[in-house]
Amino acid sequence: MSTVQLVSEDSSHPIVRRVFDDIKATKKIDHIPNIWRALATHPEHLELCWTRLKAIMAPGRVDALTKEIIALAVSATNGCNYCINSHTAAVQKLGLTLEQLGEVLAVVGLFNQMNKLADAFQVTPDILPKDW
Amino acid sequence: MSTVQLVSEDSSHPIVRRVFDDIKATKKIDHIPNIWRALATHPEHLELCWTRLKAIMAPGRVDALTKEIIALAVSATNGCNYCINSHTAAVQKLGLTLEQLGEVLAVVGLFNQMNKLADAFQVTPDILPKDW
Amino acid sequence: MSTVQLVSEDSSHPIVRRVFDDIKATKKIDHIPNIWRALATHPEHLELCWTRLKAIMAPGRVDALTKEIIALAVSATNGCNYCINSHTAAVQKLGLTLEQLGEVLAVVGLFNQMNKLADAFQVTPDILPKDW
Amino acid sequence: MSTVQLVSEDSSHPIVRRVFDDIKATKKIDHIPNIWRALATHPEHLELCWTRLKAIMAPGRVDALTKEIIALAVSATNGCNYCINSHTAAVQKLGLTLEQLGEVLAVVGLFNQMNKLADAFQVTPDILPKDW
Amino acid sequence: MSTVQLVSEDSSHPIVRRVFDDIKATKKIDHIPNIWRALATHPEHLELCWTRLKAIMAPGRVDALTKEIIALAVSATNGCNYCINSHTAAVQKLGLTLEQLGEVLAVVGLFNQMNKLADAFQVTPDILPKDW
Amino acid sequence: MSTVQLVSEDSSHPIVRRVFDDIKATKKIDHIPNIWRALATHPEHLELCWTRLKAIMAPGRVDALTKEIIALAVSATNGCNYCINSHTAAVQKLGLTLEQLGEVLAVVGLFNQMNKLADAFQVTPDILPKDW
């Protein structure tokens, strides 16, 4: 159960109204996901989060599917249940197959292991990026 | 300074020799990165790690660049210095531009924030993947 | 379901009894929260945890509400469901408003993002505290 | 060493220029901290991060010092070296004493412990916030 | 609910069949735990995970109970519900008593605290292992 | 560089003096490790941390080496540089061989991977401990 009462999808608060309508239009969905209804308890924060997410997730030099794959990799590494579900649904909707999901998660698992081994041995960085 | 003495690149231990040679051939490099020299203090574990990494990172239904991007996203989320350096170098080598790196890291930052907000509000998952 | 059987609130074990009574008196509550009933399966550890928590959470040069806000920030960053619920209830009881909660969580989300970006770029510390 | 070349403080890129000037004016400092110079490699992301940080960190219903304390608590929990240094410097500048820092970090340490114990025992939440 | 449909215990896929049979024989159990049924959606990854886990968890110079205790310590630190349950069951099966579990978790809690304090103060390592 | 000035080993503050002397006597060392010198900036917290650590790390139903192995596993999972160094030195001093260290870290790496896979698939716990 959420720690705040979720704001109604029909809220008439002007900021909430504007953001909720934009979420529906942008994501082409007809309901407001719970995370946005929770954030709406502080309308200014809701708007900051949404406008920033919208800007960052818009396809640019990196495509939408890759962005959602990154979101899933981060969410799995952090163990966030809500986000794992929602980003798994998102990559699926964008066409990732079950076989590809298996490959993505294999990489996520692998580097969660390798990160800890590199830390555990305290190895000094020796592979550095060049000037871009 | 690493917590174990790094194994020499010239080690004659048969497992270490085989893995080190394979690392050089597979990655087309002429030195052995520190992490593998640290793992070589336990040759059987070195081999398990390397053969698995090689299998998982080979391009399959997901391409090599996307896999390295996932590796970087995981490493940044875990704050692993060695791995952040090495996977930034890897994505660079595979052609990611500085502008694309900026987009990738923007997504990584964004969902580290959103994950914690979803946890903080204890929102119940409402966007679930369908049967695959 | 907890991994151990929660110790009864009516336990007659002398250490458990003493700690449970002190928890009720200190927190002005009439039941024992689950976490303490789980810890009571090892009475000496229960006592170590409780006496330390009691000492650290007592108002000192930092007030009680700020201490609970820190507890919530840590719990959200770690994604601990039990603790997020209990510290949200605690800040509420101490008078934090919903609007203030929104601001607190906005800061929590923000720095979970900024922390990962600072790590991802491997920026060297350049803003250091002076001698205190 | 950072993974990207830090953008010069004298950059003439219009977005970077605007943000850098605003950072100096808002924070009343005469140099640009490294994290912003790294973010400036992607000017749009720099601007998104800065305008959002500026909005969230402005004193509102929660005061500036409490916000910096939260930032420090999050950064210590995540183990982000750059951010630990910069937020320790920030709370010091805002008047936190060494004795108060000790209390703040005691709370941070305490709940990093308690979070893991609550998870380890898998205790079910029993202290829930009321309707706000 | 899992994000993929769990593969049936009766799967006739040759890799899955071989791994499932080996899991039952090795662990002396007559059902397949959910995690392996989820991994089986990508049979090659299932096999990589299982053969590696089997190799690493086999008693060697470190005994089976100590290995499961490490698994539990890692899982509690990461807050992974599934794994906390399964490794608590495993240490119990291998003979760990409730009193010993209390001691194990006390150590886990303690160093989750101490780790964050060491990070928070940015103390420089001064206790280094000698050459092995 | 630490964020506070480390307290001198020769401090005459009565609490600090008592704790520093006890650290030297208990650990049979003739210098005070940096972490305790940093904690000494808040003597009451120093004492709380030390007396608790001393009580928890004393051999009980779990031996001293296993406790240090747990400390190392937790520190590697959290990526705490100071603690990784000091607990690797501690297990070495207590007789762990390089080969055993390799096995310990293999288990640490393995479950950091498996934890994230279990989270990523959102598998429901099905292996539960029995009543103790």
Nearest CA of chain D to the CA of E79: how many Å?
6
Span D88-101, average pLDDT: 98
Contact list, B45 vs chain F (CB under 8 Å): 102-103, 105-106
Span A19-44, average pLDDT: 98
Parse chain F into domains and list their residue ranges.
Answer: 1-58, 61-122
Q: How many CB pairs under 8 A join A and F?
A: 60
Q: What is the predicted ipTM?
A: 0.97
Give yes or no for residue D123 having a pLDDT over 90: yes
| Interface membership of B66 toward C (CB under 8 Å) | no
| Interface membership of E48 toward A (CB under 8 Å) | yes
Tell if the CB–CB gap between F48 and D105 is shorter than 8 Å.
Answer: no
Span D23-42, average pLDDT: 97
Out of F1, F41, F55, name the one closest to residue C48 (CB): F55
| Interface membership of C100 toward F (CB under 8 Å) | no
Tell if the CB–CB gap between C42 and E85 is shorter than 8 Å.
Answer: no
- Work out the end-to-end distance of chain C between its first and last CA atoms, rounded to an integer number of angstroms: 47
* Mean pLDDT of all residues belonging to chain A: 98
Task: With CA atoms as reference, report the closest residue to D45 among A53, C112, B92, C115.
Answer: A53
For C78, nearest residue in chain D (alpha carbons): D115
Tell if the CB–CB gap between E115 and D112 is shorter than 8 Å.
Answer: yes
Give yes or no for residue B1 having a pLDDT over 90: no
Contact list, E79 vs chain D (CB under 8 Å): 115-116, 119
pLDDT of residue C1: 87
Out of F3, F42, F80, name the one closest to residue D84 (CB): F3
Which chains lie within 8 Å of chain F at 3 or more CB pairs, if any?
A, B, C, D, E
DSSP E39: H
| Interface membership of B92 toward C (CB under 8 Å) | no
| Interface membership of C123 toward A (CB under 8 Å) | no
Out of F78, F118, F127, name the one closest to residue E112 (CB): F78
Q: How many CB pairs under 8 A join E and F?
A: 221
Give yes or no for residue D1 having a pLDDT over 90: no
Which token pair is F4?
């506070």
Tell if the CB–CB gap between E83 and F118 is shorter than 8 Å.
Answer: yes
DSSP A47: H
Tell if the CB–CB gap between A113 and F113 is shorter than 8 Å.
Answer: yes
pLDDT of residue B131: 94
Contact list, D105 vs chain F (CB under 8 Å): 42, 45
Q: What is the 3-state secondary structure (H, E, C) of chain C?
A: CCCCCCCCCCCCCHHHHHHHHHHHHHHCCCCCCHHHHHHCCCHHHHHHHHHHHHHHHCCCCCCHHHHHHHHHHHHHHHCCHHHHHHHHHHHHHCCCCHHHHHHHHHHHHHHHHHHHHHHHHCCCCCCCCCCC
Kind and range of the H or E run holding A3: none
- Work out the end-to-end distance of chain A between its first and last CA atoms, rounded to an integer number of angstroms: 47
pLDDT of residue C92: 98
User: A61-122 belongs to which CATH class?
Assistant: mainly alpha
Contact list, B79 vs chain E (CB under 8 Å): none
Largest CA distance in chain B: 56
| Interface membership of C83 toward A (CB under 8 Å) | no
Residues F131, C67: Cα–Cα separation, whole Å: 36
Task: Please check whether the two domains, E1-58 and E61-123, share a CATH topology.
Answer: yes
Looking at the structure, give the CATH architecture of the domain made up of residues E61-123.
Answer: Up-down Bundle (1.20)
C23, C10 in Cβ contact below 8 A? no
What is the percent of chain F with per-residue pLDDT over 70, rounded to a whole number?
Answer: 100
Contact list, E107 vs chain C (CB under 8 Å): none
Q: A1: pLDDT confidence band, cut at 50, 70 and 90?
A: confident
Model confidence pLDDT, tens digit, residues E26-73: 999 999 999 999 999 999 999 999 999 999 999 999 999 999 999 999
What is the percent of chain D with per-residue pLDDT over 70, rounded to a whole number?
Answer: 100
Out of D84, D113, D117, name the one closest to residue E120 (CB): D84
Contact list, A85 vs chain F (CB under 8 Å): 122
Span F45-56, average pLDDT: 98
B41: phi then psi, degrees, rounded to nearest 5: -65, -15
Residues (pLDDT < 50) of chain C are none
Nearest CA of chain E to the CA of D110: how many Å?
6
| Interface membership of A110 toward F (CB under 8 Å) | yes
Residues A15, D75: Cα–Cα separation, whole Å: 31
What number of other Cβ atoms are within 10 A of residue D28's Cβ? 6
| Interface membership of F126 toward C (CB under 8 Å) | no
CATH 3.30.70.260 fits D62-124, yes or no: no
Out of C38, C125, C128, name the one closest to residue D121 (CB): C38
Out of D4, D49, D78, name the one closest to residue B98 (CB): D4
User: C1-58 belongs to which CATH class?
Assistant: mainly alpha
Q: E1: pLDDT confidence band, cut at 50, 70 and 90?
A: confident
| Interface membership of E78 toward F (CB under 8 Å) | yes
pLDDT of residue D83: 98
Give yes or no for residue D57 having a pLDDT over 90: yes
CATH of domain B60-122: 1.20.1290.10
C69, D66 in Cβ contact below 8 A? yes
